[in-house]
Every structure is written in structure tokens, then in C-alpha cells.
Amino acid sequence: MAPPAPAPRQALGMRLQLSDEAAARIRELIMEGRVRPGDHLRLERLAMEFGISVTPVREALKSLRSEGFVVLEPRRGFVVAPLSKRDVQDLFWVQAGIAAELAARATPRIGPEDLRGLEALHRELERAFAARRPDLMEEHNHHFHREINLAADSAKLAWSLGTAARYVPRGLYGRLPGWPDLAVRDHEHILAALRDGDAAAAAERMRDHVVRAGELLVSHLESRGMWPSGEEARH
């Protein structure tokens, strides 16, 4: 006997989940420079690569169109939108500003127990660094920043940061040359500011940390030929 068909609400949930996963994978293709501005994104080819049907891929591309990642051209379909060096820098400028404010708000709210938790996460980050496991480093990095953002008790601001940060797919930082060293060093500086209860220093160090991560991504994309050599940061 064939298994029962999913209920309509269940089927919709599965489709939305597949669409979100497809959107994340397409963002990764774009932000890693594996597809370039002007490239035609073929639904059937993407569906085959992802092992899903065409429908969630089409929905993912519609979502990415609203985010500015792709454009819909007559007779061509979905095409990768232009992405300048300045665009990438702007994304990180927004993230850096919000993350800095969250760090400043979190500083007076982080007590000894919270600080011990952050230090434990940093030790896990260092162990993953020593083991040459950038994938685990990125996981611990995510939790480290999440705990600081939660401590800020500013839900809308944290939501805004999450919206900006989604442009960089999870897993990408760990593949950026230089990011593991950056994460260990910068987290130590952020922790020092939190221990001192210095909100201004925590904000400054968080802002610098995010901006430097953006610079690594720009260098990575340049090395993959995303932009002509010597292109100025411009719109």
C-alpha cells in the first residue's frame, strides 16, 4: 500500500523548507563566485544538482530576486544580478554597525556566568582551530556571537542583523583564507572588553571584527575573478 500523501499544510511546510535550502545554496554559489553576474540560472539544472523538484527552486529564485541576488530578464529567465565590491562592503558595513551596537548593549548585561559561557565557547573555538576544523570553528563562532546578541535584549535589532547576515551563507567563513586566525584573535579582544565592562571598546572591537571578515570575503572574491583587477569599490 502506498504511503498516505502529506496533508496540505505539511506539504506546504516541506516545500517552503526546500525553497529556503535552495535559496541558501544559490546564495552560496553567488557569494563564492561560482556563478557570476550575468550568468543564467537554469531551473532544471539547479533542481538536478540539489536533488529536488523545479518548484522549490523557482520559489527560491523569486525570494532571491526580492533580496537583489537575481533579476528576471525577458526571454532569459533568472540571471545573477550585478554584485560590485562596494555591494559586498556595504553588506558588512551594515552588519558591523548593528553588531557593534548589540555588543555595546550586551556589555552591562553580561554577568560572570554569561562571561564563563562565552569563554568556554572561545576555548572550543581554539580547540577547533588547533585541530584544523574550520567547520567546527564556524559553529562555535556562530554560538559566540549569538550569545552576545541575546544578552543585548534587543530583539528587533538582532533580527535586523540576522537579515543582513543571511547574505553570507553559513559555512563560507570557514573556507576563507585567514578567517580562522582572525576569529581567534578578534574574539580574544572582544572578550577582554566584555570582562572590563567597557561597552565602547566592545562595540569598537566587534565593528572591526565584522569589517575585517568582509575584507577577507572581498579578497576571496577578487582571487576568484569576480571583478576585474584593480576595480574601484563603487556602485
Q: What is the pLDDT along the chain (235 residues), one digit of tens a residue?
A: 444 545 554 444 555 588 888 998 998 888 888 888 899 999 999 999 999 999 999 999 999 998 888 999 988 899 999 888 898 899 999 999 999 999 999 999 999 999 999 999 999 999 999 999 999 999 999 999 999 999 999 999 999 998 888 778 777 888 888 999 999 999 999 999 999 999 999 999 999 999 999 999 999 888 888 776 555 444 4
- The total domain count for the chain is 2
Whichever domain contains 181, its CATH number is: 1.20.120.530
Q: Please name every residue paired with 71 in a beta bridge, in sequence order, or none if there are none.
A: 79
Q: How far is CA 75 from CA 36, 72, 205, in A?
A: 19, 9, 48
93 plus 200 within the same structural domain: yes
Residue 79 is predicted with a pLDDT of 95
User: Angle, nearest 10°, between helix axes 199-223 and 85-106?
Assistant: 160
Instruction: Report if residue 56 sits inside a domain.
Output: yes
Whole-number Å distance between alpha carbons of 25 and 20: 9
Tell me: do 192 and 143 sit in the same domain. yes
Say yes or no: 102 and 151 in one domain.
yes
Final residue in a domain of this structure, among 38, 65, 80: 80
pLDDT at 215: 94
Among 47, 80, 113, identify where a domain stops: 80
> Is the residue at 229 inside a domain?
no
Contact 182, 213 (CB under 8 A): yes
Assign residue 75 the CATH number of its domain.
1.10.10.10
2 found inside a domain: no
User: Do 122 and 35 share a structural domain?
Assistant: no
Cell of 220: 576571496
pLDDT of residue 2: 47
